[in-house]
Structure 1
Amino acid sequence: MQSVALLMRACQRCTACLLHHQPWRFLVTGISEVDLPRITVPHKMQSRLQKIRQRQRQDQPTIKKSVFKSPLVISCKRGNFNHHRGQTYNDFGPQALASYGWKSRKSAGDYFTVVCHDKNPALASEESAKRFEDLHLDESLVKAVHSMGLVVPTNIQKSGTPAILSGGSTLCAAETGSGKTLAYLLPVLTMLLQRRTLRGEEEAVNSPSVIILTPSRELADQIMRVVETLQQHVDFTAYSVCGGRGTKGRLAWPVRRPMDILVATPGVLRKLLIAGQIKPSGLQHIILDEADTLLDDSFMDSIDRVLSRLKIPTLDSGVSGGRVVSPGGLDTSDTGFIGGVQFVLVSATVPRALPDSIGAYLPVDALQQVTSPGLHRLMPHVPQKFMRLLPSQKSPELVKLVRSEVEKKAGSMMIFCNSSSTCFYLGHLLEEHSLPAALINGDMTEKSRQGVFERFQEGRHDILVATDIASRGLDTINVRHVVNYDFPNFVSDYLHRAGRVGRVGSHTSGLVTSFVTHKWEVDLLWQIEISVRKSADLHNVNANIKRKISAEYAKRHGTTLDAL
């Protein structure tokens, strides 16, 4: 009876008081508070979470387990996004990408790496390997390349040399660092020496047989260094002219000298042609090195003026009954030459606007296209790491990376950014941390820029900070690490930057590290990751920089650059 009375008295209390009344609850229920289940998540919310987890498991792509025996291709911070060679997906979608959620700031700190998973595609396989002696080159040139330590040609040299020797206009497109300079120099010089032997041609004053056009002074200097190496074993003359290096003086006091090969940038060559200092009468070959850049809208006006001054007929004025005719009426279509001149376009990407840009001077359908299997793909022999960072994290992370490389003394390093102002900023930043760096960008004067890249190649500078002006064509076999401080805006820019490492002749495969910060950068990263996971070519590798920048500016600001 006493316990019933106590129970009735307790029932009169409110529930809240009863919860804190330990003795009475023990008497009534016979259990302690510790033994009671505690509800921390509402039941309805638990049901929703279970449904969400179930849906996420269903959305994950189904992977065939057998492919996991193959080598790893993509290594991720989150291991469930790892990718192996040959791995397939029943339902491939954006959710299969490691970078799928990188447009959110919450993804900062995530990363993945495309690891080294195959050999350099530029190198010929042992089964199909040829020697330079098999390419029908002049004997003196074969001796010259042997003196350079070269015995077996690369894939583009093996396939491009016969195409150019045939006399037809040719497009040679191969991945960066595959030996394209020798791929066109060796056959062109062979033909030059053959003409000299057969016809007894003498070197004409200021009338080159070969004109090589390049988009930058640094690339022109590099080509001249290769030419000078060949000159030690082969009898020919070469001359180089670049803008900003005493052009006014050359126009005032013209130089008269014999020249077989002229290496030039488009702007200064146009001025020399207008002044009559370069005569096109003996011209046989025009080579556009880094053609994807030279056929860009920003260069095309100069290229068009140069070709007009060289008196190369356009197809509109030189076609008779479907056959190409030179100004003198000579039919040259059977020889493969257009107006007696052979065009050779050399590039690491195939220009999409080729018919619109060069199509006025040669029939694009008749253009021989020689491409390598690694074209428009990430280099499989170079590890490439992508890091998702917040803008405030980029500078500290860069200093950390550079200091680590300097302490290891493993090799030189290139840092790429998208603007000259960022280039100058990074130079000051590294200087403040006792990490001096050389700079190259388009806003530097010729005097301050001259010789910088050459000193970097020689090892007198360990760090080079540059814009994309240093990403095309330049040979950087000593570079071990490339850092994209600013993620490139376009696929073609990424391929050129990454191509500064892992080149033929390099001692190491190198490493590429890219900082991904902004939402619009993730779109490009998705293209790259999809290409690797599907083992497919990169799409939309459009090299028209000026047109792309104008389109991007109009997309973001609602007006074109021309309207400003």
Structure 2
Amino acid sequence: MRWSEFEFEPALLTNIQKANYTVPRKIQSLTFPLIKAGHDLKGHAETGSGKSAAFLLPIIDAVMKLKKGGHYKSRRCCPFALIVEPTRELTVQVYDQARKLAEECDVSVSRAYGMFLRHVNLRQISTDGCDILVGTPGRLCDFFQSKNLLCDQIKVLVFDEADQLLEDGFQAVLRQLNNVNNWPQPENRQTLLFSATFPLVVQNWADEWLRKDSMMVSNKRLVAANSRIKQKFLMVPNTAKKDVLLRLFQLELQTAKKRDPVNGKIRNTMVFVNTKRDADVVSTYLNQFDFNTTTINGNRPQEMREKALSDFRAGVYQIVVTTDVCARGHDLKDLDHVINMDLPASGEGIDDSFTTYVHRIGRTGRLQQGSATTFFDIQADATMAEGFVQSLQEATQPVPDWLNKLVAREPIAGSGQVTDEELLGIL
């Protein structure tokens, strides 16, 4: 399909072109007509598939058309569309994307989240306007309950990354929001619920918020890895992971230098570990061998996390080692490679662990093919083997022989040592 088929306003189409969105993505093509027709919607799509633009573009277009027709007028501290995000990072990302798409469209965008002085946040919303307001549940609930923000003009309510909203325990806060005086009831608003994963608990929760005639749009299975991502698995004991990681980067650099002696370098890579301490340890270790590496974890203030991501995007660092604070939502168009040095903790439950895996590798493969390499300890990670086999089969990608044997509970030959030949095979 072409962008012109959706009859977006000319200024919005110009911004779509500036953003280099060449054609609508699958989830966008499916959802645009339904959103523009006013349906409530549960939208599921694989990570990196363009979910944010799927709701931002029709919202911006609706505000423009209503203003042009004289049916809507901006009011200070009174949003038309409210977008609820589970984290500050996602709030900032969607806010930035909305601002770019709404440029020169007479549509104002603001944000509301914690770690942002309350009075400063309110002043900014009042100054900038909030036709579209993006925020986290706690700060939004605070502003609406205190009547610093008014809800009587909300016509569109969006829950983004709904599975994480539930995982992070925001149900109670969102119910408080729903009880705010003059809060628009489902029949008086359009409610859109988007998520990269859609387990039954999310579908049931959605029924509390959406109209009974809501629509469901889904890309294949309800927990799906992006088919543009080439998934590779290495059998690596936990005790050898750090050395194997270093050797992988050394071989990649050697290979790149052979191709281009002057400019050859490793791919932009995000390495996932399970603890904040390990993030710092691995980063320090790689820096000792002259690999420019930074870390992002929950112990760092928001400003430091954003600075690290900005430096990574700018090429100051080629490697970022992180915990699951970066597993969702960060828009890193030039991220080439994701490495799961540790798999998500099995204590989350097998389904939740695989969901986190999908989100992690979804940081790459957004605009072009990406790569994901997973270090798999056959003792610690065995419970996830079946899910990985299914994921690879659905993506029509080869399944390692040892992974098939692990699922079939057959003996696995080999010393467990990773050879240079194996490492070169994933580059």
TM-score by shorter chain over 0.5? yes
Show CA shifts across 1:445-504 (max 9, x none). 23432332233223332111111121112222211111101112411011111111211x
Alignment of 1:299-448 (within 5 A): 299-309=170-180, 311-312=182-183, 326=185, 338-363=186-211, 365-373=212-220, 376-405=223-252, 408=256, 409-448=265-304
Residue in 2 aligned with 1:181?
52
Post-superposition shift, 1:312?
A: 3.7
Show CA shifts across 1:84-136 (max 9, x none). xxxxxxxxxxxxxxxxxxxxxxxxxxxxxxxxxxxxxxxxxxxxxx1111113
Match of 2:364 among 478, 486, 501: 501
Post-superposition shift, 1:272?
A: 1.9
Residue 501 of structure 1 aligns to which amino acid in structure 2?
A: T
Alignment of 1:45-124 (within 5 A): none
Show CA shifts across 1:490-520 (max 9, x none). 11011111111211x23xx222111112534
Residue in 1 aligned with 2:371?
511
Match of 1:525 among 373, 377, 385: 385
Post-superposition shift, 1:140?
A: 2.4
Q: Does 1:230 align with 2:101?
A: yes
Distance of 2:176 and 2:249 partners within structure 1: 44
Post-superposition shift, 1:387?
A: 1.4
Distance of 2:119 and 2:305 partners within structure 1: 19
Deviation beyond 6 Å, 4+ runs, structure 1: none
What TM-score does the superposition give when structure 1 sets the normalisation length? 0.63
Post-superposition shift, 1:388?
A: 1.6
8 Å CA contact 1:295, 1:358 repeated in 2: no
Distance of 1:419 and 1:350 partners within structure 2: 26
Distance of 1:312 and 1:362 partners within structure 2: 14
8 Å CA contact 1:254, 1:277 repeated in 2: no
Alignment coverage as a number of residue pairs: 379
Distance of 1:158 and 1:429 partners within structure 2: 45
8 Å CA contact 1:174, 1:371 repeated in 2: yes
Q: Which SS does the other structure have where 2:179 is aligned?
A: helix
Q: Which SS does the other structure have where 1:418 is aligned?
A: coil
Match of 1:159 among 22, 25, 30: 30
Residue in 2 aligned with 1:211?
82
Distance of 1:162 and 1:153 partners within structure 2: 12
Post-superposition shift, 1:342?
A: 1.2
Post-superposition shift, 1:410?
A: 4.2
8 Å CA contact 2:312, 2:318 repeated in 1: yes
Q: Which SS does the other structure have where 1:223 is aligned?
A: helix
8 Å CA contact 2:110, 2:133 repeated in 1: yes
Q: Which SS does the other structure have where 1:384 is aligned?
A: strand
8 Å CA contact 2:163, 2:197 repeated in 1: yes
Residue in 1 aligned with 2:312?
456
Residue 525 of structure 1 aligns to which amino acid in structure 2?
A: A
Instruction: After superposing the two structures, state which structure 1 stretch, 393-402 or 225-234, moved more.
Output: 225-234
Residue 162 of structure 1 aligns to which amino acid in structure 2?
A: P
Post-superposition shift, 1:143?
A: 2.3
Residue 382 of structure 1 aligns to which amino acid in structure 2?
A: I
Q: Which SS does the other structure have where 1:439 is aligned?
A: strand
Shift of the 242–166 alpha-carbon distance from structure 1 to 2, 3 Å rule, reads: same
Shift of the 248–200 alpha-carbon distance from structure 1 to 2, 3 Å rule, reads: closer
Distance of 1:525 and 1:151 partners within structure 2: 37
What TM-score does the superposition give when structure 2 sets the normalisation length? 0.81
8 Å CA contact 1:411, 1:478 repeated in 2: no
Residue 158 of structure 2 aligns to which amino acid in structure 1?
A: I
Q: Which SS does the other structure have where 1:345 is aligned?
A: strand
Distance of 1:532 and 1:455 partners within structure 2: 33
Residue 207 of structure 1 aligns to which amino acid in structure 2?
A: C
Larger gyration radius, structure 1 or structure 2: 1
Q: Which SS does the other structure have where 1:451 is aligned?
A: helix
Post-superposition shift, 1:250?
A: 4.3
Distance of 1:384 and 1:249 partners within structure 2: 44
Residue 280 of structure 2 aligns to which amino acid in structure 1?
A: F
Distance of 1:464 and 1:406 partners within structure 2: 16
Residue in 2 aligned with 1:287?
158
Show CA shifts across 1:27-76 (max 9, x none). xxxxxxxxxxxxxxxxxxxxxxxxxxxxxxxxxxxxxxxxxxxxxxxxxx
Q: Which SS does the other structure have where 2:15 is aligned?
A: helix
Residue in 2 aligned with 1:539?
none
Q: Does 1:479 align with 2:327?
A: no
Match of 1:146 among 2, 6, 17: 17
Shift of the 184–421 alpha-carbon distance from structure 1 to 2, 3 Å rule, reads: same
Shift of the 450–153 alpha-carbon distance from structure 1 to 2, 3 Å rule, reads: closer
Residue 527 of structure 1 aligns to which amino acid in structure 2?
A: G
Distance of 1:255 and 1:226 partners within structure 2: 17
The unaligned stretches of length 5 or more in structure 2 are 257-264, 347-352, 397-427
8 Å CA contact 1:216, 1:469 repeated in 2: no
8 Å CA contact 2:270, 2:319 repeated in 1: yes
